[in-house]
Every structure is written in structure tokens, then in C-alpha cells.
Amino acid sequence: MSSNPVFVAIDTTDAARAQALIAAAAPHVGGVKLGLEFFCARGPDGVRAAAAGHCLFLDLKLHDIPNTVASAVRAVAPLAPTLLTIHAGGGVAMMKAAREAAEESARDGERLLLIGVTVLTSLDDEDLEAVGQRGPMRNQALRLAALAQASGLDGVVCSPHEVAALRAECGPDFILVVPGIRPDGTALGDQKRVMNPAEAMAAGATHLVIGRPITGAADPAAAARAIAVGLGH
């Protein structure tokens, strides 16, 4: 992976727009995140075309019975994603099955890295209570991250506000992928727990996921470049 920690999040179903945004941002970011929206609209061939030549973070947030998730991991492995997300809330058996599938699908000694989703950054303590999960938010993220690490996952997705605690709990080698990143002066959108890029990296983030502050900017290339400069890249 690039030393640049930023993955630009491409949230569109339009293949031409996705490729234009990737072309604009690519010189200033470390990789590209394509998620469920794009995958459902364009399928594996669309992902392969859009991400060609770039480090790919495939953010599908897989969550199903262990056999189904393992089969899904094998199915997307030929796309050669560097990172692939699954829900840590799916439990130990599901996460272990995903890890085994990733190892079976390794090519040239390299396998995709599995990243567990702890608590979505669009949720807060009130939302957790509404769906019957124990809060506060930080405690739930810590529980799920510890479960993911014990199950063989390579890292987790977490809110910026859990980064420092998770880094202390999970050690220096556990990958922490952090969405909810908003450069100073940009709109929050539907994110409730945010931090600026430099603050998140200082707290212990490994990678940052930044979407609308880049893709929604009047000049996406300039927006991506400004973030990269602010991070010393």
C-alpha cells in the first residue's frame, strides 16, 4: 500500500463519473474505496475497470452466515482488493470462516486483508440503544474490535473518536481504517462522529476514508491535493 493513508470514497453508480473522480483524486491519495452502491450497480467487472491500477478498498460490509460470507470472500478475491470489510457483529465463526477463505484465495503469497466494521459512524449512543446494543459507543467499538482481532481479522473500521482507545487496546500492528473524516470547514453530512485528517492520524489511525469533501468539491483534484499536503504527502 502507498504511504499516503487516504482512500477516496467513490459513492456513485455512474461508471463514467466514478472513473473521472478517481482520475482526479488518484495522484493525491493512496487508494480508492468502492462500496456496496457501486458494486450492486456495476458488478465485479465495473469494479475491476474503475479500480484498475489503484489500491482497492472494497467496502462491502459482508454480514451473513459463515459459509455464505466465506463464499463471498472467495468470489471477490479475483478483484484483488487490498482491503475487504465484513461486519464484526457477525460473530466469531463468521469472521474465522472469512479469514480461512481469504487465506485459501491468496495469490503469490498475498491475501486480501479483512477489516471488521465495529459501529457505523452514522450511529450514536441513542441509535445503539434503539437496536438493543449495549453502549456507550466507545465500549461497543472496543468489544467488537477485540472480538475481530481474536478471530483473525487484520483490523477494523472505527470512528475517529475510538481510534486512540483502539490503538492502545489492539497494539501497533492492528489496522485502523477511519471514516467520518472531515477537513476543517467542510459539511458534516450524515456523519455524527468526525475529526479532521491530521487529528485522526495523530490519534493512531492507519488509513483515512474521505469521500464527499473530495468528490463533492468543485475541484476534486485540488481538494485531494490540499488534504495530502496537510498530511505531509
**Which residues carry out catalysis?**
61
> What angle do the packed helices 15-25 and 220-230 form, to 10 degrees?
40
**Is residue 155 a contact partner of residue 192, using CB atoms and an 8 Å limit?**
no
- Please tell me whether residue 62 adopts helix, strand or coil conformation: strand
Indicate if the alpha-carbon torsion angle 83, 89, 90, 95 is positive or negative. positive
**Is residue 88 a contact partner of residue 95, using CB atoms and an 8 Å limit?**
yes
Burial of 188 per CB tally in 10 Å (0-12, 13-18, 19+): exposed
- Please tell me whether residue 213 adopts helix, strand or coil conformation: helix
